[in-house]
Amino acid sequence: MSEKTKIPDHLIRELEDARRRIAELEAGVTERKRAGEAVQESQARLEGMLDIADDAIISMDADQRITLFNKGAERIFGYTVEETLGQPLDILLPERFVKSHREHVQDFAALPVPSPAMSERGILFGRRKDGEEFPVEISILKLEIGGETVFTAILRDIKRAEEQLIRSEKLAAVGRMTAGVAHEILNPLNIITLGLHMMADDPDTPPEFVDQVRVLEGQAIRIAKISQGLLSFARQRPVERRRFDFNETVRRTLDLVSHELRLRAVEVELRLAEGLPPILADEDQIQQVILNLLTNAHDAMSEGGRLVLRTEAIRDDGRQLVELRVEDTGEGTDPDDLDKLFDPFFTTKGEGTGLGLSICQGIIEAHGGAIRAENLPEGGTSFIIRLGIGEE
């Protein structure tokens, strides 16, 4: 019988002690790691929120130097974040307000902070990079972090917010009333149009009336066009998605108008990206948008010109998108009008309804995409659509 080595009791106790301490340490490390991950996660969430906010969110230190400038602030003030970090807040204010505002912030800074923060609200003037002054609604939050005073201000561009509100109210009001009215108008109008058409063609109509009857017929057709436009504007049916080849739809839509384009001596250049991923969208609606853009480009080039259609796959913030550019060499757009092109009823055409682009915008936004217009440096206008390719 072999003699078992007896481990002394005190060694066993020490071993158990060491084991317990290691377990405690491990638990501590896991805990800290978990806490670190939670901090990272909430930071990522916060950064995401800062990015998508419409308002300007700006932080500054006790010396009133800018320490945070979100995307909303870039949009509203026209500066990039790189241009502002470390700069005094004064660059965002009209000069005549700089002194009083500095003093006001200093007074506010001197007030004791009831825990954990204090805030105030008001209206003041901001100054954009191009010098334009504009009223802003401001909420300032004062925080003491590690003994340091930090201010965070949320600024809303009042004029822009009002414009957005008016625009969406206008759209909603138009939507509500149109469907019914347009529908009621179209039936009797068809009868009138047909009657006028027959009268103009009737040999019994006195020749001196024929021209007038044709003018009336033209006007009746115009009313029908407006009513139809209103109907499709109000109808905005739900998006029915299926996967399709975007380039193919662009080509097919172009075929529908290629005859008119040729008659106008408009040269067409197709620059469709190869290997574009198929998109998950409502093909009929997207085709309607493209057709509208092509028709507008045709209308803008009354003397002929060149139409370029470009598609491209792009990545934006990790999202995979397809982009279509419809570029013409037409009359271009008054820079003041670029923002208004998408408003319902905005038209510069004698025969226009001003509804085409607002319908396009409605469709693209219902798809979660974006549409915008730019003037091209060499003349003409470019319409740019971006659409997500949809869930995988």
How many CB atoms lie under 10 A from the CB of residue 41? Answer: 10
The token pair that represents 285 in the structure block: 């609606």
Does position 371 interact with ligand ADP (CB under 6 A)? The reply is: no
Does position 381 interact with ligand ADP (CB under 6 A)? The reply is: yes
Beta partners for residue 140, in sequence order: 120, 153
In whole angstroms, the minimum distance from the beta carbon of 129 to ligand ADP comes to: 28
Does position 363 interact with ligand ADP (CB under 6 A)? The reply is: no
Does position 365 interact with ligand ADP (CB under 6 A)? The reply is: no
Does position 94 interact with ligand ADP (CB under 6 A)? The reply is: no
Binding mask 308-347 for ligand ADP (x = CB under 6 A): --------------------x-xx-x-------x----xx
Decide the pairing of beta strands 319-327 and 279-281: unpaired
Does position 349 interact with ligand ADP (CB under 6 A)? The reply is: yes
Instruction: List the one residue from 348, 374, 376, 384 that touches ligand ADP (CB under 6 A).
Output: 348
Does position 362 interact with ligand ADP (CB under 6 A)? The reply is: no
Instruction: List the one residue from 356, 362, 385, 386 that touches ligand ADP (CB under 6 A).
Output: 356
In whole angstroms, the minimum distance from the beta carbon of 324 to ligand ADP comes to: 14
Binding mask 280-299 for ligand ADP (x = CB under 6 A): ------------x---xx--
CA distance 161 to 155: 11
Does position 357 interact with ligand ADP (CB under 6 A)? The reply is: yes
CA distance 213 to 221: 12
CA distance 125 to 131: 12
Does position 232 interact with ligand ADP (CB under 6 A)? The reply is: no
Instruction: List the one residue from 56, 193, 353, 369 that touches ligand ADP (CB under 6 A).
Output: 353
Let me know how many helices (H) and strands (E) the chain has, helices first: 9, 12
Phi, psi (deg, nearest 5) at residue 180: -65, -50
Single out the segment in contact with ligand ADP by CB under 6 A; choices: 4-12, 103-111, 243-251, 353-361: 353-361
Q: Which is nearer to ligand ADP, 68 or 376 (CB)?
A: 376
The token pair that represents 111 in the structure block: 């007030």
Hey, what amino acid is at 106? Q
Q: Which is nearer to ligand ADP, 20 or 349 (CB)?
A: 349
Residues 6+ apart with CB under 8 A from 213: 196, 199, 200, 205
How many CB atoms lie under 10 A from the CB of residue 125? Answer: 14
Does position 388 interact with ligand ADP (CB under 6 A)? The reply is: no
DSSP state of 204: T
CA distance 374 to 383: 7
Q: Which of 339, 338, 311 is nearest to 325 (CA)?
A: 311
Q: Which is nearer to ligand ADP, 60 or 297 (CB)?
A: 297
Q: Which is nearer to ligand ADP, 257 or 279 (CB)?
A: 257
Q: Which of 231, 133, 113 is nearest to 182 (CA)?
A: 231
Binding site for ligand ADP (CB under 6 A): 292, 296-297, 300, 328, 330-331, 333, 341, 346-349, 352-358, 381
